[in-house]
Amino acid sequence: MQASENYPLAGPKNSPRTVLAEGGFTADTEIMTTTGPVMAAELTSGDTVLALNPTTRMVKPKEVVKVQTIHDVDEIIALETRRCDFRLAPDHPFFYTTKAISKIRKTTVADLQQWFQRRFVNEWQPRSGTRLEEVDITDLVDVYEICAASEDHGIAFRAALPDDCTPVGSSSHKGCLFDPDTFKQYQSEIESVADRTTIHSGSNSRRRPYRFEGDDFIEFLGWFIAEGSVSWTQSRDTPHIQLAQKDERHRPKIASLFERLGIKPSVTNNGFSFGSTIFGTMLDELCGHGSKNKRIPSFIWNVSNPQKQLLFETLMIGDGTDQRTYYTASEELAGDVLRLSLELGSKPRYTKRGDMWRIFVSSNADGFRSDRNLDWEANSDPLYRVTIYDFSLVMAGRNGKFQWVGASGVV
């Protein structure tokens, strides 16, 4: 059987920057998107997948241009190993390496039968982000007051500010108070003349820092996503923020982090806690409220790779095992952790029982043998051709097993 015998090519032959669609995925093949795995039959134009350039080995989000349903493909090829599970049309593009040659080469799934042993694409370059040097949470919340304190007399302090930089209140002991609009408009001027600036949610709330070193803030978010909660109750004026941690191996690390953040929590045998409306609101908005709604904040995808690794390792300490297995009841967080591990250079696998996701992170150099792992199967179901923009490979698979494989088309 010729590889393209029953699969007419689609699209104009001379169209610029167009690679004509080939092959096809079974409906239950999951493709890794920026929000987690999505079945090929449910992908739509405009979705964003995580794609690989075979020349540069760079991974980037790329847009799905088209999903085409094809019929009358009566035979497909099964490629199955412990860490791989594909059902693909015989002419589906496939990329591989060998033990002797690390360069990525392209063939079709049917032509894999001609060779005895091949390796999957096992190495790639994570997308480079920008190091987050500092986090100012006044950029993340809308309701707060800033208290600017100075050793100078109040009149002298105000005289050093622009004429229309007017406080909403002042205290001889605590300083001048500024609303969010005034503070953001004149932030640099206020901070330059104040000896100390702090944030609070009301006159009776505790004043806390609002600027944090980037690594410390990311580590704090990692602990919160894995072990944290925000409790809003009618019996308290402010929400209760808790990081649960009983393990004595990790408690000193969290205590040191709070000290660097400038936050003094209450400490019990069960963990660490503090009250703050501002932090409670911010954490719910960034990371989701409740264990089933946890997620990784969107800004993380643009930070440096060492900072992504810091977040990942903190998550793994909190909800993972020494064998690099991560557990979560949040579907959104599961998708985020799958993406994060992929962007850091590891191929993820997962299983799911009820609401609980179990994610396995591996950097194994996987391969396969055509005489053991390749077989033909009869097929009567539609297949799906996924065309993406610019890059050639997607991370895909069935039953929670993922490997790099060719997209059906690239424009």
pLDDT for 359-393, tens place per residue?
999 777 889 999 999 999 999 999 999 999 999 99
Work out the average pLDDT over 84-92: 97
Residue 314 · residue 226 · CB < 8 Å: yes
CB-count burial class (<10 Å; 0-12, 13-18, 19+) for 39: middle
Whether residue 8 is predicted with pLDDT greater than 60 in this model: the reply is: no
Q: Indicate the helix (H) or strand (E) that contains 70.
A: strand 59-70
DSSP 8-state code for residue 55:
T
Look up the CATH architecture of domain 25-122+364-410.
Answer: Beta Complex (2.170)
Confidence of residue 139 (pLDDT cuts 50, 70, 90): very high
Residue 257 φ then ψ, to 5°: -65, -45
Residue 23: HSE in the Cβ half-sphere, 13 Å Cα cutoff? 26
pLDDT of 2 reads: 33
pLDDT of 263 reads: 96
The CA distance from 3 to 384, in Å, is 17
Domain ranges in the chain are 25-122+364-410, 145-200, 213-361
Question: Residue 225: which residues within 8 A CB-CB, separation 6 or more?
Answer: 287, 294, 295, 296, 315, 318, 333
pLDDT in tens, 101-121: 899 999 999 999 887 789 999
The residue whose two tokens read 């990371």 is 287
pLDDT of 20 reads: 55
pLDDT in tens, 303-325: 999 999 999 999 999 998 888 99
171-175, 210-214, 243-247, 357-361: which has the minimum mean pLDDT?
A: 171-175
Confidence of residue 153 (pLDDT cuts 50, 70, 90): low
Whether residue 46 is predicted with pLDDT greater than 50 in this model: the reply is: yes
Residue 118 · residue 32 · CB < 8 Å: no
Kindly report the CATH number that applies to the domain delimited by 213-361. Answer: 3.10.28.10
Nearest alpha carbon to residue 336 among 231, 221, 239: 221
3-state DSSP helix/strand/coil % of the chain, to nearest 5: 25, 35, 40
Confidence of residue 170 (pLDDT cuts 50, 70, 90): confident
Whether residue 240 is predicted with pLDDT greater than 70 in this model: the reply is: yes
The CA distance from 53 to 91, in Å, is 20
CA 210 to chain centre: 25
The residue whose two tokens read 């190993």 is 81
β strands within 158-277, DSSP E: 169-171, 175-178, 196-200, 211-213, 228-231, 240-244, 266-268, 271-275
Residue 218 · residue 313 · CB < 8 Å: no
Whether residue 411 is predicted with pLDDT greater than 80 in this model: the reply is: yes
Q: Which two tokens stand for residue 339?
A: 């993406």
Whether residue 130 is predicted with pLDDT greater than 50 in this model: the reply is: yes
Residue 258 · residue 264 · CB < 8 Å: yes
pLDDT of 18 reads: 43
Q: Indicate the helix (H) or strand (E) that contains 328.
A: strand 325-328
DSSP 274-319: EE-HHHHHHHHHHH-SSGGG----GGGGGB-HHHHHHHHHHHHHHH
Sign of CA dihedral 213, 219, 224, 225: positive
pLDDT of 171 reads: 67
- pTM comes to 0.90
User: Mean pLDDT in the chain?
Assistant: 91
pLDDT of 114 reads: 82
pLDDT of 65 reads: 96
pLDDT in tens, 336-349: 999 999 999 999 89
Angle at 397 between CA 396 and CA 400, to 5 degrees: 115
Nearest alpha carbon to residue 348 among 324, 332, 369, 368: 324
Percent of the chain surpassing pLDDT 70: 93
Question: Residue 345: which residues within 8 A CB-CB, separation 6 or more?
Answer: 123, 124, 125, 126, 363
Residue 141: HSE in the Cβ half-sphere, 13 Å Cα cutoff? 23
Confidence of residue 172 (pLDDT cuts 50, 70, 90): low
pLDDT of 13 reads: 34
